[in-house]
Structure 1
Amino acid sequence: MGTADGDGLREFYSAQQPRLVGVVSLLTGSRAEAEDIVQEAFVRLVPRWGKVSRYDAPEAWVRLVAVRLAANRHRDRSRLTGLFHRLPREQAAPDPAEAYGGDLEQALAGLPMPTRQVVVLYYVCDLSVAQVADTLGIAEGTVKSRLARGREALGAALRSDDHA
């Protein structure tokens, strides 16, 4: 990578990293985990920067990688949680859902990962239904139904906290 490429990558990283960490934080519920995921996405970008930098929206490539990494971690964690649920109750870790509070990040964390991805990409990243569908490799109808379920679940969760 030449000096110009390196400078361009540094500028791109400086411009995109904070926003992407914010987006991924909403997906994971953890800023520290989001920082790790975003860092990994940028590490994967480095050898591809020459090609990705010529894309119309190189930030979409990094965002897609980060969203997929977050989904993979969530899936791996879900498998691990399933194993813990098989332990006798006194050995199992406390269920994070029992500690549910009332803010938006916690409400998002209560959504299934596929629904959470759609909600965050649509509302936080301001992507269209078609762009969300393309990013996640799903049908536009699936995006719409997940958005509807996400809005309903978030509304119920946030309303119940207002009355608690």
Structure 2
Amino acid sequence: MDDGRIREVYSVSYPRLVTQMVALCGNRAEAEDLVQEAFMTALTHAREFEGVANKEAWLRTVALNRLRKQWRRAAVVRRVMPRIARESGPQLGAEATPDHIAIVTALGQVSQAMRETFVLFYVADLPVSQIAAELEVPEGTVKARLSRCRVQLAGLLSDPEGAEHA
């Protein structure tokens, strides 16, 4: 694959992929690292990447797999060394609005499977069939996860004080 084609894929896909990874991990710097690592993987596997029909989906899968690996490592560290201090809340940067921070924080409280499905559907704007293919689950599972996630997020994002004043 020529350098110009990689640059074209990068300029089109990078911002969307970073946004999707931020929604998953809650940390902009980490999201950027994940996406950059996915592009480095594409460069080192140029022949394979060249033959891929949906290059953005391939890159997203690589970034998501790296994120899952980080989560597994973090779980092991928490079990082995429970006194290690963890970051408190998402690190989104100064440009993040309070609503954005609330949504990312709420997404951090739902299961990993629901969070991934939610982000692919609402942030990546992928159809249910493509999400099912990327996550290797039945379409019914994708729909069920989306439904359960919406219910959980509604509970996490509801404003009980605002409801009393309305």
- Give the aligned partner of residue 149 of structure 1: 148
Match among 7, 11, 14 for residue 17 of structure 1: 14
Which residue number corresponds to residue 112 of structure 2? 113
Return 5+ residue gaps in structure 1 as ranges: 86-90
| Structure-2 separation of matches of 1:95 and 1:130 | 35
CA distance in 1, matches of 2:111, 2:72: 10
Matching of residues 21-40 of structure 1 within 5 Å = 21-40=18-37
**Could you tell me whether the CA contact under 8 Å between 2:19 and 2:123 is conserved in 1?**
no
Partner of 2:76: 79
Question: Take 1:162 and 1:18, find their aligned partners in 2: how far apart are those partners?
Answer: 36
Query: Are the equivalent residues in 2 in contact too, given 1:9–1:49 (CA < 8 A)?
Result: no
53, 57, 61: which is aligned to 1:56?
53
Q: Kindly tell me the number of residue pairs found equivalent between the two proteins.
A: 153
Distance 1:138 1:13, change over 3 A: same
**Local SS of the residue matching 1:56:** coil
Call closer, same or farther: CA 1:158–1:80 in 2, change over 3 Å.
same
The 2-side partners of 1:60 and 1:12 are apart by 11
Q: How far apart, in 2, do the equivalents of 1:147 and 1:83 lie?
A: 33
Report the Cα distance in structure 2 between the residues aligned to 1:29 and 1:162, rounded to whole angstroms: 26
- CA offsets per residue over residues 131-150 of structure 1, 9 Å max, x none? 11110112222212211221
Give me the TM-score of the superposition, normalised by structure 2: 0.80
Note if contact 1:21-1:35 (Cα within 8 Å) is conserved in structure 2.
Answer: yes
Percent of aligned pairs sharing the same letter: 37
Matched, 1:159 2:158: yes
Deviation at 1:53, TM superposition (A): 3.1
Which of the pair is proportionally richer in helix? Answer: 1
TM-score by structure 1 length? Answer: 0.81
Whole-Å separation in 1 of the counterparts to 2:26 and 2:160: 18
How much does 1:156 deviate? 0.4
Which sections of structure 2, spanning at least 5 residues, go unmatched? 90-97
